[in-house]
């Protein structure tokens, strides 16, 4: 039975981290809201137990799994998309949760006051927050992931895991949102560039990347506002 994935239509958002591992792992799923619309999502979510606080969530049989890291840990264990040994699984979860932390901080560069307000209404605050993000947070997080990779092909173990597809989305999204800054930061961190290319070349995943199932960045977490970017 194919998984039901529920996530907002129109933005890659946090749903993308689930979508990419399902795609790269060749796991069957239905992207429900893209077939039925966001109103159907809201209705569906309200009746699920445990009720998700927000999308994405995954439904399989009687099981409802919400929160991205929770979904990925489930898929990792169930479909061999994380190591079988405990240390490897915990390492994957650790990287995933750190990626999620950086994703939240990325979002807050353009929405530092309230996610319910327009960017234009918090532009001044965004300028300050983005400056700190570029100067302090980007090098700190990204050099951490480069160290975690070291000379290895993958973050954990000797084959790709969901931590790798998640790092792909993060780095790819940051390149979209902060092209100047990423060029400067990545110049010192070749491991990130090599890793991105390696993930993009995974057979099932490279198909996805050029398919219309993939939504472009621009809305949601990773947005390009030239005034928030700098070397």
Contact footprint for a copy of itself (CB under 8 A): 50-53, 62-67, 69-70, 73-74, 86-87, 90-91, 93-95, 97-98, 101, 104, 108, 112-114, 116-117, 122, 125, 128-129, 132, 136, 141, 144, 147-148, 156
The minimum distance between CB 30 and a copy of itself, in angstroms, equals 20
CB of 216 to a copy of itself, least distance (A): 26
- Enter the tokens of residue 1: 């039975």
Shortest Å distance, C-beta 130 to a copy of itself: 10
Residue closer to a copy of itself by CB (options 18, 205) is: 18
Q: Residue 125 or residue 207: which is nearer to a copy of itself going by CB?
A: 125
- With CA atoms as reference, report the closest residue to 185 among 221, 228, 136, 149: 136
Residue closer to a copy of itself (CB basis): 195 or 205 = 195
Residue ranges of the alpha helices (H) in the chain? 15-24, 32-36, 38-47, 68-79, 86-110, 123-132, 138-149, 162-177, 179-187, 190-200, 203-209
Least separation in angstroms between residue 86's CB and a copy of itself is 7
CB of 20 to a copy of itself, least distance (A): 19
Tokens 């057979």 belong to 203
Please identify, using beta-carbon distances, which residue of 42 and 87 lies nearer to a copy of itself.
87
Q: Which is nearer to a copy of itself, 95 or 222 (CB)?
A: 95
Give Cβ neighbours of residue 198 (< 8 Å, ≥ 6 apart).
Answer: 153, 154, 160, 164
Question: H or E segment at 65?
Answer: strand 63-66
- Which tokens sit at 158? 């000797």
- 57 in Cβ contact with 48 (< 8 Å): yes
Q: Smaller CB distance to a copy of itself: residue 58 or 205?
A: 58
The phi, psi pair for 3, rounded to 5°, reads -65, 150
Query: Shortest gap between Cβ of 82 and a copy of itself (angstroms)?
Result: 12
């Amino acid at each position: 039975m194919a998984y039901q994935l529920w996530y907002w239509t129109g933005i890659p958002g946090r749903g993308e981290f689930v979508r990419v591992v399902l795609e790269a792992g060749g796991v069957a799923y239905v992207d429900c809201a893209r077939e039925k619309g966001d109103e159907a999502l809201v209705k569906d979510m309200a009746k699920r137990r445990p009720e998700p606080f927000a999308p994405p969530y995954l439904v399989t049989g009687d099981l409802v799994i919400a929160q991205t890291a929770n979904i990925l840990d489930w898929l990792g264990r169930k479909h061999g998309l994380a190591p079988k040994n405990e240390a490897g699984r915990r390492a994957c979860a650790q990287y995933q949760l750190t990626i999620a932390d950086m994703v939240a901080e990325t979002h807050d560069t353009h929405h530092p006051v309230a996610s319910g307000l327009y960017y234009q209404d918090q532009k001044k605050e965004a300028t300050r927050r983005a400056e700190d993000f570029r100067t302090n947070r980007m090098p700190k997080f990204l050099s951490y992931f480069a160290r975690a990779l070291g000379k290895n092909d993958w973050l954990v173990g000797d084959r790709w895991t969901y931590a790798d597809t998640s790092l792909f989305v993060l780095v790819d999204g940051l390149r979209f949102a902060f092209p100047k800054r990423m060029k400067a930061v990545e110049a010192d961190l070749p491991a990130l560039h090599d890793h991105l290319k390696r993930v993009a070349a995974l057979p099932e995943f490279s198909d996805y990347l050029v398919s219309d199932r993939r939504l472009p960045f621009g809305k949601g977490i990773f947005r390009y506002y030239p005034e928030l970017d700098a070397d």
